[in-house]
Amino acid sequence: MEPLPITITSEELNLLIYAYFQDSGFDHSAFALRNESGLDDATIFKTHIARGELINLLGKAMLYMEVEAHWKSDGLRTDCKGAFTLLGRHSCSDEISEGGEDIAQDNAMDLVDSNSISSRLSPPPAQSSFVSSQQPDHPLQRNGATHADANSYPLKDYTLGTYRHLSPTMDSNMKRKISTSPGQGHTEKRARHGSVDMDVDDFPESVHTSQNAHATESAVGGVTDPRPRGAGDFISDPRAVLLLEGHKAEVFVCAFNPRKHNLLASGSKDSVVNLWNLPDPPPWNSSAFASGPPLPLSLENVSRADQGDLTCLTWNSAGTLLAIGSYDTVLRVYTASGDLYFTNPLHEGPIFSTRFSKDDKWLLSGSLDGSTCVWDINEKALYKQYHPHKECCLDIEWIDNNTFASCGADMTICIQRIEDDEPFKRLLGHKDEINQIKVNPSGTRLASCSDDGTACVWKVDNLGRAEDFIPGLSAADSRVVLRGHSHSVSGLGWCVDTSISPTGHEMLVSTSFDGSARLWDSETGSCLAVFTEHRAPVYALTFSPDGKFLATGSGDGWMHIYDLKVRTRIWSWYAGKDKPGVFEIGWQKDEDVDRIAVALECRKVALVDMHKVEQYRDAVQRERRPTALIEPQGSEPRTNV
């Protein structure tokens, strides 16, 4: 039987280019193409296009043409070191130039011998689409390289198979999590506006220098890795870390139930949500180690759509309901026992964030479609939908039980009361997309972080009052700007323990694509410490529930634990060389339980019993002994290397 033809219509091609223009911020070009090509009338116009899909397809085409160019009558040539670029003529070579660049490049437009492909790519007469013969499957890797979602990071170099360099001046708006190791397919976390030429591995020179100075050759899982080992890798018993196997795709999110300490939820790229019933760990002074849980309960009726990647899992404060956000635009809420509580498809774009109000009466959701929704939990129904942003809404947060904040790609933070149709306050000051917002525990200050490389702290306890309209006293005028990162600031967290602050002020931590985390005084804007151990974008951060320790996770496969009182790293754990990314971290501390859950790119969930980590136990004992802070007020921040 002859294979079916592969068709590409002009509408599909126009839609891909339109999506590329939007991703790149070329709004006028996108508008012109949309109108001149009549995309509004196309039946496929509302089809969801993954971020960077055009570049992803070009990458696959390049890899196919690379195989085609190197195929000889006796097989595939594998020793070619010549460059293979999008707009350069390829010439095979066995040599590399002194500068490390492949030789024999020019600016010719043809990629390979045009005669070898013209017969397959020429459109047939009088048709608006072209048909190509069925193409054989070919591996999509060369020398460790991989194609990558254009909105992904780290972005791999197609030719050299190595991480390319990151320049702080380059467009930094590509923020979805993808596979950090060679492989096929997307590992997206959430859609973002941005261009496709982001590079992500040239971190500050001090980071590389300091790490390489004490790097050692050691084995992780039987694989020799030249990167420096983290503190505790050779001391801690490996039985302190359990790897839970129950997912078949990258695990993006995980969350402990706030009331039922045995219940852990985890969600993966393939839309699977697992509920784990964790056994109680042995007492901290026992010589025994925790045992693994039984097979998890997989929730039913969760999306199986191609664009069903999970973006968030959020428990209510009572631990009875779990809200799930997904790329398929559908909001779902389940009970702690795994039963579907209610679902609603109102949003027209991926849902990035969900938040329960503190009194558990309302559920807030934010979406790529630019809207936010408040849902009545008891009625299982929509209370009101809002459209505060001109572009996509990237994060949401409750200020109190009746007031919430949202941020978006339009560089604004909107403050809204649930009964009003419009925001009563807009906070302006960021110069690029705002990625995340966090309100402190007392609800008096709101922190935001942006692609402009800064974080800000806003006073929100006087919003809407008379003093808010007095110059110098309004939230917009009294903001504290936190500067120091050299790339997009992607994450924030408030420290709940002010006793360890040198000034007694609240502290917060920011994480960035520059590979660092920074500890800040929220009132003065002073940087108290810089943590630079990571060698890839930092995806995850969380505090211990008592606020004394910080955990960070990165695409480099490392999770680092820091003692915030002395501001130093005390322990590290490495996820392994194969698909090493650390995507999310949850920390649970309840009576005799002190453990960390880690969502991993390698399709597993790591469960760390912190009572069995000697360095952590020693640090906890030190915390219980009153000591003076190492650095006096006003000293220079410590950079940990």
Strands 321-326 and 310-315: antiparallel
Give the per-residue pLDDT at 76: 73
- The structure's pTM equals 0.67
Q: Dump pLDDT digits (tens) for 223-249.
A: 344 434 444 455 678 888 999 999 999
Give the per-residue pLDDT at 35: 84
Q: What is the mean pLDDT of residues 494-510?
A: 93
More confident residue, 167 or 244: 244
Give the per-residue pLDDT at 469: 55
Q: What is the mean pLDDT of residues 143-153?
A: 33
Q: Dump pLDDT digits (tens) for 178-232.
A: 444 433 333 334 433 333 333 343 444 333 333 333 333 333 333 344 434 444 4
Contact 352, 360 (CB under 8 A): no
Residue 578: count other Cβ atoms within 10 Å of its Cβ: 13
Contact 363, 342 (CB under 8 A): no
The percent helix, strand, coil of the chain (3-state, each to 5) is: 15, 35, 55
* Length of the chain counted residue by residue: 641
Helices (H) and strands (E) in the chain, counts: 6, 43
Give dist(CA 252, CA 299) in Å, integer. 16
Give the per-residue pLDDT at 302: 83
Contact 147, 548 (CB under 8 A): no
Contact 236, 559 (CB under 8 A): no
- Residue 194 DSSP code: -
Model confidence at 109: pLDDT above 50: no
Find, among 199, 270, 288, 272, the residue nearest to 612 by Cα: 288
**What stretches of 303-402 adopt beta strand conformation (E)?**
310-315, 321-326, 331-335, 340-344, 351-356, 362-367, 372-376, 381-386, 393-400
Model confidence at 27: pLDDT above 90: no
Model confidence at 587: pLDDT above 80: yes
Distance from chain centroid for Cα 462 = 33
Q: What is the mean pLDDT of residues 531-556?
A: 95
Task: With cut-offs at 50, 70 and 90, classify the pLDDT of residue 94.
Answer: low
| Average pLDDT of the chain to the nearest whole number | 77
Give the per-residue pLDDT at 400: 94
* DSSP code per residue over 42-105: -TTTTSPPPTTHHHHHHHHHHHHHHHHHHEETTEE-----S---SSS-----S-B-TTS-BS--
Model confidence at 100: pLDDT above 50: no
Which tokens go with 525?
Answer: 């804007």
Give dist(CA 338, CA 19) in Å, integer. 37
Least confident of 152-156, 202-206, 449-453: 152-156
Q: What is the mean pLDDT of residues 443-464?
A: 92
Task: With cut-offs at 50, 70 and 90, classify the pLDDT of residue 24.
Answer: confident
